[in-house]
Structure 1
Amino acid sequence: MTSTPPAWIVWSLRALATAHLAGVLAQAALAGLFVTGDVDLLIWHRDNAGVTHVLLYLQLVAAILLWRPGRGAWWPAAASLGLVALETAQVGFGQSRALGLHFPLGMAIFGLSAVFAVWTWRAFRHTAA
């Protein structure tokens, strides 16, 4: 990074990355409950997917702001864009019932989202105000 980005951008990115991660975790829990027989949770899984996807697009906006005009690193925007691509594929696999692809991709999305959220909290320790 070339300079310390404004705190409001850092906090926006942290909040959105953390909310997105929570949505991804909820997706896994809802999927697990659905496959054990509670078929009503498939609707919740679908609706939570929409909310989680919107949170990711907002995370992408915050990551772009971190880069320009925030003068931060460019890679969080690229990583967020990569997650958008993966989640878009995830939605397609889920809608087509390609569960052999949907389940492992969901696990990968969870791992990548967790790493990204942790990074937002560790990278800017001195940008708290």
Structure 2
Amino acid sequence: MATIETTTTRRTAPAFLQAAVAVQTLAIFFQAGTAGLLLSTSYGETLHGVGARVMYGASMLYVLAAVLAWRPGGGSPRPVLYASGFLVLASVQVVLGIAHVPSVHVPLGVLMFGLSVLDLARRRRA
């Protein structure tokens, strides 16, 4: 019985990890769009704030998926490091956004999107 559960976990953990990275990438991309709305519309701030919460939640989901792929799934611990790094970047991003420091907030968002796309591409290739 334990063998069946382990085999199932080993197959689903990478798929869950890839889905978590995809959700994170989409959330960061959404943030780029709402950043433009933030500058040009009255409802942009609301959308960007909601998107920030979704992006942060997606980063936490990525950490969870990475841990599940590593521990019970028997995978590499490397995705846990990547996911933890993204969560740190997301935390810094939230603090910079609240503090209204766009000179660092915007480039960090671009960096996060690029890193997330690279990670997603690496996951799809693997």
TM over 0.5: yes
Question: Which position in structure 1 is the counterpart of 2:12?
Answer: 8
C-alpha distance in 2, partners of 1:83/1:55? 10
Contact 2:96/2:104 (CA < 8 Å) preserved in 1?
A: yes
1:98 CA drift (Å): 0.6
RCO higher in structure (CA 8 A, sep ≥6): 1
Q: Which stretch shifts more, 84-93 or 112-121?
A: 112-121
Question: Which position in structure 1 is the counterpart of 2:89?
Answer: 86
Question: Which position in structure 2 is the counterpart of 1:119?
Answer: 122
Pairing partner for 1:108 from 107, 111, 120 = 111
Are residues 1:38 and 2:79 paired?
no
Pairing partner for 1:21 from 14, 25, 31 = 25
Percent of counterpart pairs with the same letter? Answer: 30
Measured against aligned partners, the alpha-carbon deviations of 1:2-23 in whole angstroms (never above 9, x if no partner) come to: xx97121111111111011001
Question: Which position in structure 2 is the counterpart of 1:52?
Answer: 55
1:71 CA drift (Å): 1.8
C-alpha distance in 2, partners of 1:7/1:118? 19
SS at match of 1:73: coil
C-alpha distance in 1, partners of 2:52/2:37? 15
Question: Which position in structure 2 is the counterpart of 1:127?
Answer: none
Q: How many aligned positions are there?
A: 119
Runs of 4+, deviation exceeding 2 Å:
none
TM-score of the superposed pair, with normalisation by structure 2: 0.89
Is there any run of 5+ residues in structure 1 with no aligned partner, and where?
124-129
C-alpha distance in 1, partners of 2:19/2:89? 21
Matched to 1:93, the amino acid is: L
